[in-house]
């Protein structure tokens, strides 16, 4: 498939050049070279040991790029969870839909819009950040995304601005998107002392549809900034989703991430956060709900490069059927990163004997005065808790759902933005069939 | 109300209850006392239907029904309540949600309509007062991060809301300071009615200063070796359990 992708890239190159600046063309080209050199990863690579990407690598995907579809606000309503007043960008099959998007008045200097439009405008912001945070050398998928990047959300919050209304980026795959790939590319820049909440949703209008989303989001969190970043991945359960969120944090900044993964036949999300200066706080929460034959993989990496930073990570999984989950959590602490406080937890609840989890904490600590802990559990619901609830009169099946919900809700509670928290709770309840 | 006949129960291969006989009538308070490992807590948990124990022989009749044939939730819906020695933390579920769900299951079982959260708040008001709590406790997760005393109070609050016919309190006094003990005892006493009954499982006589039992039973080695009135508890306080253990040892 690599050759076919190269041909496709070359065919597009002429038109793409007309649209995008030269620095980006050279970034695209080196990304494509990087991809051509390695091709798709295989199970022989440690990073992909438990997550075979064959279904992605061996299919010839057409570029979606706006595959025509009739989508109305009514279709989108379930995914905006009733917050029409938020700044919402809706991308349909990879292309920004102006009629479905909602951009109200924004504070001065704030930019929220589509990437392709931003590329046509003043290039300074993009040149400083786009492709600068997510290294193509790290992953063939990032390389492909970079080579083919075209559309996505661009959010820029200048220094000292508090963005009161959340920004919601919704990537919609319609039934017409079957057999296609999109490479959404998002850029979030919050400058010094600013504050924002961003939600990314990846959704499908047809549950049985097979397509591939290959998303990359770059985040730059300036000194003293505060950013809550929620990722809701609810693709079709026959689709494939590969995503990277790459974050660079500056001094005194606070970045909190919540990642929900419940869609995809094969879903992988990498969250990489680099702590570039002192007194940074990074919170990473995750929840994955899998069933059937789903394979859901979360890889996180935290780079403690400087002293006096704190990272706190909790990922939880609820697995049903014959589904599989993979969790890999890396924490790197450089020799100079003294007084690092890092805690990582991965807890899994198996609701079926055939479900399986591969969990791997990976701590590489080169400083001596640090507090770093990790823990992973894989198990079933606690029998004592089950009996306790039943002894209060709750039927066994209701107790099962209640305790499973409670297990998941505990991590959802960490989301600051209440409407998002409520939506996440609703999604879990819906999956469990109510409590 | 409750007739326990020759009840034998084990956990795995270990026999714990060896022929318990006990009759509890409506309106009565029974104290079941005994040294550690005598089977007191097992008796309480077997009555509530804990799946870790197997009843090997004997019968338990509750309000004319075969209690042992009922699932734990059916026992609860029929009015049996066990206050746990170690109440379980359920992070992620609020006290309000949990208690209302339990209350409504009970109502459904009796063919009554479920009540909504507004009506439930009204109902809670007087129940909370019983354990000296404000409404804020209801938005906390069930027992999560509660102190030992708070957990026991929460058990009494649940009991007050669910209004059991048969309440079994398993070492509810253990680990309580005197103030918490008073609150718990007040709750139990105020909930006493001619048509309900209470079994207090306790190691110490202390609780019985606050809740006066009609009958006291001493459990040793999985059997009731002595029964009497409230004065038996005082005798146990003075003499300990050793003389009874020796008597059982001599008999077997």
pLDDT above 90: percentage of residues in chain A: 87
Is the separation of the CB atoms in A184 and A146 below 8 Å?
Answer: no
**Which residue in chain A is spatially nearest to B163 when comparing CA positions?**
A392
Instruction: Give domain limits for chain A.
Output: 2-277, 396-435
CATH number at residue B18: 3.40.50.300
Inter-chain contact B106–A408, Cβ cutoff 8 Å? no
For the entire predicted model, the pTM comes to: 0.89
| pLDDT score at B198 | 95
Looking at beta carbons, which residues of chain A come within 8 Å of B91?
Answer: 406, 409-410
How many domains does chain B divide into? Answer: 1
Mean pLDDT along residues B145-162: 94
- No. of helices (H) and no. of strands (E), chain B: 8, 12
Alpha-helical segments (H) within B22-168 = 40-48, 72-77, 95-109, 117-130, 148-162
What gap in Å lies between CA B212 and CA B230, rounded to an integer?
A: 7
Find the helix or strand (DSSP H, E) in which A362 lies.
Answer: strand A356-365
Query: Is the pLDDT assigned to residue B247 strictly greater than 80?
Result: no
Is the separation of the CB atoms in A115 and A149 below 8 Å?
Answer: yes
Which of A396, A408, A435 has its CB closest to that of B73? A396
Strand partners, A341: A310, A371
Inter-chain contact A409–B75, Cβ cutoff 8 Å? no
| pLDDT score at A17 | 47
The model's pLDDT over B9-45, given as tens digits with 9 standing for 90+, comes to 999 999 999 999 999 999 999 999 998 889 999 999 9
Q: At CB < 8 Å, which residues of chain B contact A?
A: 48-52, 71-73, 75-77, 81-82, 84, 87-88, 90-93, 98, 101-102, 105-106, 109, 141, 158, 162
Nearest to A205 by CA among A312, A70, A298, A49: A70
What gap in Å lies between CA B130 and CA A212, rounded to an integer?
A: 59
Inter-chain contact B72–A384, Cβ cutoff 8 Å? no
Query: Is the pLDDT assigned to residue B183 strictly greater than 70?
Result: yes
User: Which residues 330-389 of A are in CB contact (within 8 Å) with B?
Assistant: 382-385, 387-389
End-to-end CA separation in angstroms for chain A: 46
Give per-residue burial for A63-91: e unless 16+ CB within 10 Å, then b.
bbbbbebebeeebbeebbbebeebbbbbb
| pLDDT score at B249 | 61
Nearest to A40 by CA among A31, A30, A53: A53
Put simply, whether A403 touches B (Cβ < 8 Å) is yes
B2 φ/ψ angles, rounded to the nearest 5 degrees: -130, 130
pLDDT tens across the length of chain A (435 residues): 678 888 888 888 756 545 678 899 999 999 999 999 999 998 888 899 889 899 999 999 999 987 888 899 999 999 998 787 899 999 999 999 999 999 989 999 999 999 999 998 878 899 999 999 999 999 999 999 999 999 999 999 999 999 999 999 999 999 999 999 999 999 999 999 999 999 999 999 998 999 999 999 999 999 999 999 999 999 999 999 999 999 999 999 999 999 999 999 999 999 999 999 999 999 999 999 999 999 999 999 999 999 999 999 999 999 999 999 999 999 999 999 999 999 999 999 999 999 999 999 999 999 999 999 999 999 999 999 999 999 999 999 999 999 999 999 999 999 999 999 999 999 999 999 877
Domain boundaries, position B73: 2-251
Put simply, whether A11 touches B (Cβ < 8 Å) is no
| pLDDT score at A52 | 84
| pLDDT score at B243 | 83
Residue with tokens 């995914």: A79
What gap in Å lies between CA A280 and CA A306, rounded to an integer?
A: 9
Put simply, whether A396 touches B (Cβ < 8 Å) is yes
**Which residue in chain B is spatially nearest to A386 when comparing CA positions?**
B88
B129 φ/ψ angles, rounded to the nearest 5 degrees: -60, -35
Mutation target to probe the A interface, by most A beta carbons within 10 A, among B48, B92, B159 is: B92
Q: What is the DSSP letter of A329?
A: E
Inter-chain contact B93–A406, Cβ cutoff 8 Å? yes
**Which range, A76-80, B58-62, B88-92, is most confident?**
B58-62
Confidence of residue B224 (pLDDT cuts 50, 70, 90): very high
Alpha-helical segments (H) within A219-332 = none
């Amino acid at each position: 498939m690599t050759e076919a992708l190269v041909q496709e890239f070359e065919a597009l190159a002429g038109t793409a050049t007309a649209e995008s600046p030269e620095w980006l063309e050279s970034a695209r080209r080196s990304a494509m070279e990087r991809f051509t050199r390695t091709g798709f990863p295989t199970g022989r690579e440690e990073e992909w040991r438990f997550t075979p990407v064959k279904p992605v690598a061996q299919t010839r995907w057409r570029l979606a790029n706006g595959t025509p579809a009739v989508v109305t606000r009514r279709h989108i309503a379930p995914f905006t969870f009733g917050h029409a007043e938020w700044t919402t960008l809706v991308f349909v099959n990879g292309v920004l839909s102006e009629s479905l998007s909602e951009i109200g008045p924004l504070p001065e200097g704030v930019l929220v819009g589509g990437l392709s439009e931003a590329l046509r405008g003043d290039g300074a912001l993009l040149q400083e950040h786009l492709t600068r945070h997510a290294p193509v050398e790290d992953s063939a998928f990032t390389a492909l995304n970079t080579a083919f990047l075209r559309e996505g959300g661009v959010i820029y919050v200048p220094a000292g601005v508090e963005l009161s209304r959340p920004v919601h980026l919704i990537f919609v795959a319609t039934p017409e998107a079957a057999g296609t790939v999109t490479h959404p590319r998002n850029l979030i820049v919050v400058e010094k002392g600013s504050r924002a909440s961003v939600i990314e949703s990846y959704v499908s209008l047809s549950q049985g549809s097979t397509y591939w989303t290959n998303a990359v989001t770059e985040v730059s969190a300036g000194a003293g900034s505060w950013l809550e970043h929620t990722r809701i991945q609810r693709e079709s359960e026959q689709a494939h989703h590969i995503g990277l969120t790459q974050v660079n944090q500056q001094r005194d900044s606070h970045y909190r991430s919540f990642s929900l993964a419940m869609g995809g036949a094969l879903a992988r999300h990498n969250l990489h956060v680099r702590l570039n200066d002192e007194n940074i706080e990074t919170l990473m929460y995750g929840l994955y709900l899998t069933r059937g034959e789903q394979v859901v993989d979360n890889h996180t990496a935290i780079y403690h490069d400087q002293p006096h930073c704190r990272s706190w990570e909790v990922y939880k999984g609820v697995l049903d059927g014959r589904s599989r989950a993979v969790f890999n959590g890396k924490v790197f602490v450089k020799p100079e990163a003294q007084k690092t406080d890092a805690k990582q937890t991965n807890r899994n609840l198996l609701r079926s004997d055939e479900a399986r989890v591969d969990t791997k904490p990976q701590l590489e600590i080169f400083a001596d005065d640090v507090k770093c802990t990790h823990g992973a559990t894989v198990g079933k619901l606690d029998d004592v808790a089950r009996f306790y609830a039943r002894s209060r009169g709750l039927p066994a099946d209701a107790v099962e759902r209640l305790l499973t919900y409670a297990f998941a809700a505990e991590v959802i509670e960490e989301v600051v933005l209440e409407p998002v928290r409520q939506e996440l709770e609703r999604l879990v309840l819906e999956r469990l069939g109510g409590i | 109300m409750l007739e326990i006949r020759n009840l034998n129960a084990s956990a795995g291969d270990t026999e714990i209850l060896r022929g318990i006989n006990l009759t509890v009538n409506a309106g009565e308070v029974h104290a079941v006392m005994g040294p550690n490992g005598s089977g007191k807590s097992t008796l309480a948990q077997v009555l509530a239907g804990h799946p870790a124990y197997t009843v090997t022989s004997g019968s338990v009749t509750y309000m004319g029904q075969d209690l042992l044939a009922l699932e734990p939730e059916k026992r609860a819906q029929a009015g049996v309540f066990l206050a746990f020695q170690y109440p379980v933390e359920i992070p992620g579920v609020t006290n309000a949600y949990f208690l209302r769900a339990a209350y409504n299951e009970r109502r459904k079982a009796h063919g009554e309509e479920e009540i909504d959260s507004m009506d439930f708040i009204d109902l809670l008001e007087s129940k909370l007062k019983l354990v000296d709590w404000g409404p804020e406790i209801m938005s906390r997760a069930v027992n999560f991060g509660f102190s030992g005393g708070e957990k026991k109070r929460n058990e009494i609050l649940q009991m007050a809301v669910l209004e059991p016919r048969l309440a079994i309190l398993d070492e509810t006094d253990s680990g309580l300071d005197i103030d918490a003990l008073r609150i718990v005892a007040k709750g139990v006493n105020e909930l006493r009615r001619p048509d309900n009954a209470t079994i207090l499982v306790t190691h110490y006589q202390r609780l019985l200063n606050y809740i006066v039992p009609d009958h006291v039973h001493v459990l040793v080695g999985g059997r009731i070796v002595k029964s009497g009135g409230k004065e038996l508890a005082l005798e146990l306080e003075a003499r300990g359990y050793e003389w009874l253990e020796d008597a059982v040892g001599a008999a077997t």
